[in-house]
Structure 1
Amino acid sequence: MELISVAAIAGNRVLGKDGELPWPSIPADKRQYRERIADWPVVLGRRTFDSMRDDLPGTVQIVLSRSESDYSVDSARHASGVDATLDMLEATAHDRAYVIGGAAIYELFQPVVDRMLLSRIPGAYDGDVYFHEWDRDAWELASQTPYEEFTLEEWVRRRE
């Protein structure tokens, strides 16, 4: 199972503010993000799940939460931690899954993700959640795709 983090990050590592993106909407980024994760399982935290409830991404949503909950969505599954999530993902018929946030979920899964797809939004923004620091020596920048309002970076974990 290949596990891939997908995030949009400002130049100062800001991910969001008050549950929203702090920068103006970037349709090209939303489009590439939604198309990429549409046919795959996604891993997300409860608050991120709640914020996307009206338009849930992915084929299955594995929601990490300390407390079990009924999500009232047939495709949503509760997981209590990283290991439980990985077990659930292995039980699917998919060979790939995406970690889509929030900040604590990105950090929890950092040790086990194989790739990161980071939409780099130029500039610094006020925010209350940040993408975690990560050891760049453990990763290789495989590609950079410039778009008009952002650059999509693909990072691949170095294997010794």
Structure 2
Amino acid sequence: MTGTDVELTSVAAVAENGVIGRDGEIPWPSIPTDKRQYRNRIADSPVILGRVTFDSMREDLPGTAQIVLSRSETGYDVETAYPASGVAEAIATVESLGAEEGYVIGGAGIYGLFQPAVDRMVLSRIPGEYEGDAYFPEWDTAEWSRVKTVAYDRFTLEEWERASS
């Protein structure tokens, strides 16, 4: 755990070469089954995301609340959106909402910032290598245990937990 009562989970779709995006979009053809499991997983919890990712999702915001990390924005015209300036403030906001878990949903900089703080990762592994400009952060596999793997058509879902110290 992160030293708080909130369990943080990173959720991402990742190609074999670590790519998660290109020009703000997913670089592989849409995988509806993956989108559904992703949306269902995060539907009843607050999500933590960067401002660019938030702006790209404004038409269909995920989660019960969006904690938006930004260096410049201090408020949003969306009732369920809360600004945060860093990891500690984002986690405190999740706690203040009475949630027991929160999901980190990107972009690349946000995944990197939260990697030391997350307790779990749920990764949709997309076969193939893709051109991209956004990557999921690397992690020390010795610090993590893969606890579940489920094969789907066109992706494999992996669940990882941080190893006990």
TM-score by length of 2: 0.95
Q: How does 1:133-144 map to 2 (within 5 A)?
A: 133-144=138-149
Runs (4+) off by over 6 Å: none
> Alignment identity in percent?
62
How far apart in 2 are the matches of 1:86 and 1:93?
11
* Higher mean displacement: 69-78 or 120-129: 69-78
Q: Deviations over 1:13-41 (max 9, x none)?
A: 00000100000000000000000001100
Q: How does 1:10-159 map to 2 (within 5 A)?
A: 10-159=15-164
Amino acid at match of 2:51: R
Unmatched segments (≥5 aa) in structure 1: none
How far apart in 1 are the matches of 2:99 and 2:87?
18
Q: Secondary structure at the match of 1:86?
A: helix
Residue 89 of structure 1 deviates from its aligned partner by 1.2
How far apart in 1 are the matches of 2:75 and 2:67?
12
Amino acid at match of 2:34: D
How far apart in 2 are the matches of 1:121 and 1:23?
8
Amino acid at match of 2:89: A
Aligned with residue 9 of structure 1, among 8, 11, 14: 14
Provide the aligned C-alpha RMSD in A.
Answer: 0.7
How far apart in 2 are the matches of 1:17 and 1:68?
24
How far apart in 1 are the matches of 2:62 and 2:95?
19
Unmatched segments (≥5 aa) in structure 2: 1-5
Q: Secondary structure at the match of 1:142?
A: strand
Residue 159 of structure 1 deviates from its aligned partner by 1.0
